Amino acid sequence: MEVTRNSEVAHLLQQIEAEYQAAQQALSGVAVAGRHAFITARQENIGKCFERLSTLMPSEEAIKIVAQTLDHRGE
């Protein structure tokens, strides 16, 4: 069961990273019709992933690993 949990956590973190990257690209890319709606949808998806992570571990731990995942993108 732990392998399944770890796999789901990894999948959720990858999804959060992909959503964040898509929002970042929308911010820095050429004008996109509906940019605000697109970015809002990405943020909502990140929120859903975080909510799911919070069911798999304490919220404090989920916040920490999401922050580390997104911080790692800046390196």
Assess whether pLDDT exceeds 90 at residue 25.
no
List the structure tokens of 33: 């019709």
List the structure tokens of 71: 């911080």
Question: For the residues 22-48, what does the mean pLDDT come to?
Answer: 83
User: Reduced to 3 states, what is the DSSP secondary structure of residue 59?
Assistant: helix
pTM across the whole model:
0.78
Helix (H) or strand (E) holding 32: none
Neighbours of 69 (CB within 10 A): 15
Structural domain span for residue 9: 2-73
CA distance 66 to 35: 24
pLDDT of residue 13: 94
Number of domains in the chain: 1
